[in-house]
């Protein structure tokens, strides 16, 4: 029988022989979160994409539940309200970006991570000023304010930005054009204030890359900004053939992870596969499949890193459904029980380009119409079918006729060219991951809990203040100079001291001294919001 003293000695010796890391193994030195958003995707296109690829998706391996997507105003959300909910934890109104329903800017989970010492980044196949990436990085009342959004993003101090949207970083003006997202909205494709934000990107220490090979070569700068298109990056099916200088979503995701993972504390990365939604607005099943599979390849990159790292949470989700795509339509009412998968897939696999990619090759005189139709898998038309195509009054009309015929041949149905309001799938992996049927507002709560900060308690909860009221209460005379101009400035003056807060910037002037702020200044046309260190 050993004495208590002998047992104590043995226990001490055992403790001394344990591996040095064992006492801290439960406490990771870093924490990473990769939030991946597949914009505008319903469940049937995931099924169709799986059949098309012929194997399970990487997403299938991490299916954990569902997400409710409604906004503060509607059962069917838009991307702005949905993105803002996933960024801030607050349901808001359509078109609002990083703002609550009362028009107040609220801190995003990306901003909270940055303020907490994490590296941060965004990746998108749309212009980075589009609704979803904007919701994590800016605060405006209208998602179409690409100029203000782009300016705030430049002054947010992110570590990695990869995507499209170069047009809103430079002052050169172009004619307004239609968006290629099926919504047919007209935007000014330039900066209305004439500022050249590329100069600010350079002066802020970013390495600026413009082509795929520059990105793939790898870089050493701690900050990276990739601008690969003036507007959106090509659909993945079209990209290698029509725009090979643009990177894939998977390549941008891998590059972002490589750069962000060099930090000691960890990182937050938001990745958006933007253009499932754009193809869905067009009712183009080929384009939708192209982008689902592109997104799945990016998920593979995230999961490969997370499995090796051990301290990385991956969350993948769509912000809302779109198009109401169904495998089966009114034409299959009587024989759906006898339709194998290849009856849906074979017509789609004939397409070498998406409908947008195909019509982009159309000559003005339409002399190559047959070749264009063939590139979309419609090379064997009857005389009547070809006549319908010839009679198209515009490119939009031609695309609409092409996708309708493709859907008919592939036995697919569409209920709308707009969004839909169903619950969507939740995919997650890693420590702290969300599971079950959750609200979209739960996503940033789970992420911030894992990363060790809160957007709803402490200093982050009331981060922005009404600058006019705050400084008036401090005895300053306050006005907003250039209230209706492209570059308004809040001016506060007291006893010879003049403070000037320019909209969308992360600094202010105290007389002739430029002082940095921890957040950008936000002006909504009525109120001017700033962050004040107490």
What is the residue-wise DSSP string for 46-79? HHHHHHHHTS--TGGGGEEEEEE---SS-SS--H
- Report the half-sphere exposure of 410 (CA within 13 A, side-chain side): 33
Per-residue pLDDT of the chain (534 residues; tens, 9 = 90+): 444 444 444 434 333 333 333 333 455 679 999 999 999 999 999 999 999 999 999 999 999 999 999 999 999 999 999 999 999 999 999 999 999 999 999 999 999 999 999 999 999 999 999 999 999 999 999 999 999 999 999 999 999 999 999 999 998 655 544 444 444 444 556 677 778 999 999 999 999 999 999 999 987 788 999 999 999 999 999 999 999 999 999 999 999 999 999 988 999 999 999 999 999 999 999 999 999 999 999 999 999 999 999 999 999 999 999 999 999 999 999 999 999 999 999 999 999 999 999 999 999 999 999 999 999 999 999 999 999 999 999 999 999 999 999 999 999 999 999 999 999 999 999 999 999 999 999 999 999 999 999 999 999 999 999 999 999 999 999 999 987 677 899 999 999 999 999 999 999 999 999 999 999 999 999 999 999 986
Q: Which residues contact 404 (CB under 8 A, 6 or more apart)?
A: 283
Using DSSP's 3-state secondary structure scheme, residue 304 falls into: helix
DSSP states of 146-168: HHHHHHHHHTTT-SEEEEE-GGG
Long-range contacts of 496-504 (CB under 8 A, 24+ apart): 499/471, 501/467, 501/528, 501/530, 503/148, 503/528, 504/148, 504/151, 504/152, 504/155
Q: Angle at the Cα of 59 (from 312 to 284), degrees rounded to 5? A: 130
Give the distance from CA 112 to its chain's centroid: 17
CA 511 – CA 502 distance, rounded (Å): 13
CA 368 – CA 436 distance, rounded (Å): 51
Neighbouring C-beta atoms of residue 27, cutoff 10 Å: 6
Task: Quote the pLDDT of residue 27.
Answer: 54
State the DSSP H helix or E strand holding residue 87, giving kind and residue range, or none if neither: helix 79-88
**Could you tell me the two tokens for 106?**
């609220």
CA gyration radius, the chain: 26
Give the distance from CA 409 to its chain's centroid: 33
- Report the half-sphere exposure of 441 (CA within 13 A, side-chain side): 12
Task: Quote the pLDDT of residue 172.
Answer: 64
Q: Which residues contact 350 (CB under 8 A, 6 or more apart)?
A: 377, 378, 379
β-strand partners of 516 = 507
State the DSSP H helix or E strand holding residue 292, giving kind and residue range, or none if neither: helix 285-309
Positive or negative: CA dihedral 420, 425, 430, 435: positive
Using DSSP's 3-state secondary structure scheme, residue 280 falls into: helix
The overall longest dimension of the chain from CA atoms, in Å, is 101
Task: Quote the pLDDT of residue 193.
Answer: 79
Sort 72 into a burial class: Cβ within 10 Å, 0-12 / 13-18 / 19+: middle
CA-CA-CA-CA dihedral for 169, 174, 178, 179, to nearest 10: -10
Q: What is each CA distance from 418 to 43, 183, 402, in whole angstroms?
A: 15, 8, 18
Q: What is the DSSP letter of 140?
A: B
Backbone angles phi and psi of 154, in degrees to 5:
-65, -35
CA 154 – CA 204 distance, rounded (Å): 9
Q: Which is nearest to 154 in space by CA: 170, 143, 172?
A: 170
Q: Which residues contact 434 (CB under 8 A, 6 or more apart)?
A: 64, 65, 315, 426, 428, 442, 443, 446
Q: Which is nearest to 93 in space by CA: 140, 127, 136?
A: 140
CA 114 – CA 36 distance, rounded (Å): 18
- The set of catalytic residues is 79
CA 50 – CA 292 distance, rounded (Å): 9
- Which residue reads 């957007």 in tokens? 455
**Could you tell me the two tokens for 349?**
């696999």
């Amino acid at each position: 029988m050993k004495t208590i003293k002998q047992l104590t000695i043995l226990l001490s010796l055992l403790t001394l022989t344990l591996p040095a890391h064992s006492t801290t193994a439960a406490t990771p030195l870093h924490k990473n979160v990769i939030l991946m958003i597949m914009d505008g995707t319903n469940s049937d296109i995931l099924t169709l994409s799986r059949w098309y690829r012929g194997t399970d998706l990487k997403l299938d391996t991490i299916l954990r539940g569902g997400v409710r997507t409604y906004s503060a105003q509607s059962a069917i959300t838009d991307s702005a309200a949905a993105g803002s909910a996933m960024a801030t934890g607050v349901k808001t109104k359509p078109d609002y970006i990083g703002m609550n329903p009362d028009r107040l800017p609220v801190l995003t989970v990306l901003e909270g991570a940055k303020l907490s010492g994490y590296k941060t980044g965004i990746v998108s196949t749309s212009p980075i000023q589009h609704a979803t990436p904007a919701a994590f990085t800016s605060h405006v009342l209208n998602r179409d304010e690409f100029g203000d959004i782009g300016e705030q993003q430049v002054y947010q101090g992110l570590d990695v930005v990869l995507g499209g949207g170069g047009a809103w970083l430079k002052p050169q003006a172009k004619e307004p054009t239609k968006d290629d997202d099926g919504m047919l909205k007209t935007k000014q494709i330039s900066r209305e204030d004439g500022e050249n934000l590329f100069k600010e990107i350079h002066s802020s220490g970013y390495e600026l890359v413009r082509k795929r090979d520059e990105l793939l070569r790898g870089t050493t700068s701690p900050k990276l900004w990739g601008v690969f298109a003036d507007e959106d990056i090509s659909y993945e099916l079209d990209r290698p053939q029509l725009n090979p200088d643009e990177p894939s979503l998977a390549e941008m995701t891998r590059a972002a992870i490589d750069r962000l993972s060099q930090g000691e504390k960890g990182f937050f990365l938001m990745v958006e596969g933007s253009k499932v939604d754009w193809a869905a607005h067009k009712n183009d099943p080929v384009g939708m499949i192209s982008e689902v599979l592109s997104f799945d390849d990016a998920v593979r990159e995230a999961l490969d890193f997370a499995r090796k790292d051990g301290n990385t949470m991956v969350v993948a989700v769509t912000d809302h459904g779109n198009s109401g795509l169904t495998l089966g339509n009114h034409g299959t009412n009587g024989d759906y029980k006898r339709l194998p998968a290849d009856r849906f897939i074979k017509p789609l696999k004939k397409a070498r380009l998406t409908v947008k990619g195909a019509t982009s090759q159309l000559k003005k005189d339409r002399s190559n119409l047959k070749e264009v139709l063939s590139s979309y898998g419609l090379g064997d038309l009857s005389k009547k079918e070809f006549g319908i195509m010839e009679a198209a009054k515009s490119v939009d009309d031609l695309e609409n006729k092409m996708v309708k015929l493709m859907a008919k041949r592939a036995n697919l149905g569409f209920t709308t060219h707009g969004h839909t309001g169903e619950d969507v799938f939740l995919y997650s992996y890693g420590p702290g991951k969300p599971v079950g049927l959750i609200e979209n507002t739960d996503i940033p709560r789970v992420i911030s809990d894992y990363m060790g900060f809160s957007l709803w308690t402490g200093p982050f909860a009331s981060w922005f203040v009404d600058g006019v009221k705050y400084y008036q209460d401090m005895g300053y005379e306050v006005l907003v100079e250039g209230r209706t101009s492209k570059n308004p400035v809040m001016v506060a003056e007291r006893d010879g001291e003049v403070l000037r807060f320019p909209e969308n910037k992360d600094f202010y002037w105290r007389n002739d001294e430029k002082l940095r702020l921890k957040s950008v200044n936000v002006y909504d046309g009525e109120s001017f919001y700033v962050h004040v260190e107490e």
